[in-house]
Structures are given as structure tokens and as C-alpha cells.
Structure 1
Amino acid sequence: MKVELAQLAGQDSDTVNNLRRALAAIAACASDTQLIVFPETYLMGFPAVDTVARVAEPLDGPAVQAIEQAARERNIAVVIGFAENDNGTFYNTTLLITPQGIALRYRKTHLWPSERGVFQAGDRFATCEWNGVRIGLLICYDIEFPETARALAQLGAELIIVTNGNMDPYGPTHRTAIMARAQENQALALMVNRVGAGTGELVFAGGSTLVDPFGTLLHEAGREECQFRVELDFSQLAAARADYRYLNDQRIRLPGEVIEHADGRRELLIG
């Protein structure tokens, strides 16, 4: 699978600017790219308590619809974050959008302190199958909790995609975490972070990465804007799982109700 990582700067509470840049990045993809991944809440940036009601959009809002249209026109899948408005409740949400529409929605379950009071935490983990690969989504702070990636592994995830909005001085924390999450779940993992200045004194740390199922860092971006392509080798899954399988050998499984949907999505409810 050929994937492009769009490590871009963004503007908080400025959907017009961010959507324009996202559409340009999709248009710039190589003709054989199958998937492009953007940072956390990329479409709106990070809203504040006094701006979230203005900038957040529903699932069928104009920003998401514009990305869906671009995905159809380019025959490409897109993973992108946005501020979701669900009838007046706001979520930090990431979508997997394919040329056929929205395949997966994930609402961030572990909110960073500055997000509390802005967003509501999600209540489930989810995976779907796309192009023969079972994909799960996580968002930023989620990956600092081993249970999040393990929940996706219990749902069959082979590829974990993390939309990230990690800032200084915590860049090394997420570098370590994404490698650990891939290794301990024997899955491929992609993480795409934002760069540049944010609101106040925030500076986003970049370092977008691809990690193999052994926990080896295969590609790592620097701190500048870039859009680069990687190729995922899913034969590494069989190699990593050949002699032992952590998921089979674990003594304690995460609790929660598993829901199997007719369209192939699997969800683990966490309450």
C-alpha cells in the first residue's frame, strides 16, 4: 500500500485555510498513491471553548463533504481530523474517507487537559476493513495509553493510524509511544503530526513516522512541512507473528462489548 504523510502547519479555528491546504495536498498526491494521512483536527485546527461552537461541523458538513468529493475525484482514501458537532456535543474526531464515502469514524477517547471542556471524550474504539487491510484509528494523546492500541488489536487491526497534534517538549514521548504500540501489538503504525506555531506559545513537533510490526522506525520526518510517501509491506505482519502472537498469549483481555457491523466495522464499547 502506497501512503502519503501530509505533515503540515495549520491555523486554529480557520477552516477555510486548512481545507484549502488539505485539498491541495490531495491534488498533489502521486497517481498511484492509495491513502493520504493528515494531522489531528486538521480541518479546523484546535478550537477553544469560545470558538468550538462556531467552527465545529457535523459529519455531513461542508468541510467533510469537500474532502469526500476530492477522495472520489482522485480515487484515493483520506484520513483527516476535524472538530465534530453532533447536535451540540463536540468531539475531536478522525475519519477514514474512501472514494465510496466515510468508512470509519473515531472520536478521541483520551483528551489532553486543554481539550477538556471543549470536547467530549469518545466511548468506543473501532476498526474497518479497506483494501483487504483492517485499519484502526487513534488520536494524539491516545497513544500514550497502551490499552488504546491493544483495543484495536483485539478488533483485528493490522494498521494503526494516528492523527497527531503533539507539541514541544513532548515530541520524544510520542516517538517512543508509537514504536511501542506497534511492537506490542505486532501491527504496522503510521503517525502524522502537525508542525509550526499554534495558538499562544505552542510549537508543534513534527516527527511523522512509519513503524513496522517489530517496533522498528522505518521513516521519520523532521520538524518542517513536508509531504512524503512510504510503502507499507504487510508481509511483515506474518513475519512478526510467526513464532508468537501477543494477542493469543495475553492473560488479561480488555473488557467491553464488541459490536460487529454488517459493513465490516468492529467496535469495542468502553462505556
Structure 2
Amino acid sequence: MKVELVQLAGRDGDTAHNLARALEAIAACAADTDLVVFPETHLMGFPTRDTIAALAEPLDGPTLQAIAQAARAHDIAIAIGMAERDGEHYYNTTVLMTPQGIALRYRKTHLWASDKGIFTAGDRYATALWKGVRVGMLICFDIEFPESARALGQLGAELIIVTNGNMDPYGPTHRTAIMARAMENQAFAVMVNRVGTGDDGLVFAGGSAVVDPFGNLLCEAGREACRQVMVLDFDRLQAARNDYRYLDERRLTLPGERIEHADGRRELMIPQDSF
């Protein structure tokens, strides 16, 4: 699977600008690219309590519809973050958009300090199939909790996508975490972070990366806007899982209702007493 990581600056509260940059990046992908990944909440930037109502859109809103059109036009899957409106609730959401439509929606389950009071936490983990590969998604702070990636591993994830909005001084934390989460679940991990400075003065750390199922860092970006291209060899999954499989050897299983969908999606619901 050929994957492109697009590490961008973005602008908080400027959906038109962020969408334009995303569409330009999608149009610039190679013809044989299978998947392109963008940062956390790239489409709207990070909202505040004052701006969330104006910025957030439903999944059938105009901004995501433009991404859907680009996925069809370029025959590519797109993982991209947004501020989602669903009724009276707002979510920090990443969507996996394919030429056929939304293959997967993930709502951030572990809210960072600046998320709280703005977003509602998600209530499930999920995976879907894209070109024969089982894909799961996490968002930023999620990867600092081993259980988040383990939930995806328990659902059979072979590729973990992390849309990231990690800032200084925590860049090294996510570098360590993404390598550990890939090794623990013997899966590929692709993490794409934001760069530049946000409206609140936060300096985003970059460091987008690809990690193999052994936990080896295959590529790592610096602190500037850039594009990285990697081809993931899924034969490495079998090699990593040949002598031992952590998921088979584990003594504890995460609780929660597992749901199998006819379209190949799998979900693990977070128990209500965890909220």
C-alpha cells in the first residue's frame, strides 16, 4: 500500500483555507497512491468554545462533501480530521473517505485539556477494510493510552492511522508512543502531525512518522510542512507475528460489546461505566 503523509500548518477557524490546502495536496498525490493522511482537525483547525458552533459541520456538510468528491476524482482514500456536529454535540473526528464514501468515522475518545468543554468524547473504537487491509484510527492524545491501540488490535487492525495535533514540548512523547503502539499490536502505524503556530500560541511539533510492526521507525519528518511517501509491505505483518503474537498471548481482554457490520467494519463499544 502506497501512503502519502501530508504535514501541514493549517489555520484555526479558517475552513476555506484548510480545505483548499487539502484539495491541493490530494491533487498532487501520485497516481498509484492508495492513501493520503492529514493532521488532526485539519479541515477546521482547533475551535474554541466561542467558535465551535460556527465551525463544526455534520458528516454530510459541504466541506466533507468536497473531500468525498476529491476521493472519487483521484481514486484514493483520505484520512482527515474535522470538527463534527451531530445534533447538539460536537466531536473531534477523523474520517476515512474512500471513492465509495465514508468507510470509517472515529471520534476522539481521550480528550486533551483544550478539547474538554468543546468536544464530547467518542464511545467506541472501529476498524474497516481498505484494499484488503484492516485499518483503524486514533487521534493525538489517544496514542498515549496503550488500551486505545490495543482496542484496534483486538479488532484485527493491520494499519493504525493517527491524525495528530501534538505540540511542544510533547513531540518526543508521541515519537515514543507511536513506536510502542505499533510494536505492541504488531501492526503498521502512520502518524501525521501539524506544524506551525496556532491561534493560541501553541507551537506544533511535526515529526510525522511511519512505524513498522516491529516498532522500527521507517521515516520521520522534521518541523516544517512537507510530504512523505512510503510503501507499506504487509508481508512484514506475517514476519512480525511469525514466532509470537501478543494478541494471542495476552492474559487480559479489553471489555466492551463487539459489533460486526455487513460492510466489514468492526466496532468495540466502550463500557458505559467507563465514562
Same fold (TM over 0.5): yes
Taking the TM superposition and a 5 Å limit, the aligned residue runs for 1:8-23 are 8-23=8-23
- Note if contact 1:136-1:157 (Cα within 8 Å) is conserved in structure 2: yes
Q: What is the Cα deviation at residue 200 of structure 1?
A: 2.0
Residue 221 of structure 1 aligns with an amino acid whose one-letter code is A
Deviations 1:40-86 (A, max 9, x none): 00000000001000000000000000000000001111000000000
Taking the TM superposition and a 5 Å limit, the aligned residue runs for 1:3-42 are 3-42=3-42
Q: What is the Cα deviation at residue 15 of structure 1?
A: 0.3
Taking the TM superposition and a 5 Å limit, the aligned residue runs for 1:91-130 are 91-130=91-130
Residue 66 of structure 1 aligns with an amino acid whose one-letter code is A
Q: Does 1:213 align with 2:223?
A: no
Q: Output the CA distance in 2 between the equivalents of 1:24 and 1:88.
A: 32
Number of the residue aligned with 1:44: 44
Deviations 1:228-259 (A, max 9, x none): 21110100000000000000000001000000
Residue 74 of structure 2 aligns with an amino acid whose one-letter code is R
Deviations 1:146-165 (A, max 9, x none): 00000000000000000000
Taking the TM superposition and a 5 Å limit, the aligned residue runs for 1:214-229 are 214-229=214-229
Taking the TM superposition and a 5 Å limit, the aligned residue runs for 1:29-178 are 29-178=29-178
Deviations 1:197-218 (A, max 9, x none): 1122201000000000000001
- Note if contact 1:53-1:88 (Cα within 8 Å) is conserved in structure 2: no
Q: Output the CA distance in 2 between the equivalents of 1:76 and 1:201.
A: 34
Residue 54 of structure 1 aligns with an amino acid whose one-letter code is A
Q: Which runs of no fewer than 5 residues in structure 1 stay unpaired? A: none
Residue 107 of structure 2 aligns with an amino acid whose one-letter code is R
User: What TM-score do you get using the length of structure 2 for normalisation?
Assistant: 0.98
Deviations 1:143-193 (A, max 9, x none): 000000000000000000000000000000000000000001100000000
The SS at the match of 2:114 is: helix
Q: Output the CA distance in 2 between the equivalents of 1:263 and 1:237.
A: 23
Q: Output the CA distance in 2 between the equivalents of 1:206 and 1:120.
A: 26
User: What TM-score do you get using the length of structure 1 for normalisation?
Assistant: 0.99
Q: Does 1:258 align with 2:273?
A: no
Residue 22 of structure 2 aligns with an amino acid whose one-letter code is A
Q: Output the CA distance in 1 between the equivalents of 2:49 and 2:17.
A: 20
The SS at the match of 1:114 is: coil
Deviations 1:87-128 (A, max 9, x none): 120000000000000000000000001110000000000000
Count of aligned pairs: 271
Q: Output the CA distance in 2 between the equivalents of 1:228 and 1:181.
A: 21
Q: Output the CA distance in 2 between the equivalents of 1:7 and 1:215.
A: 21
Q: Output the CA distance in 1 between the equivalents of 2:96 and 2:72.
A: 13
Give aligned-pair identity as a percent: 72
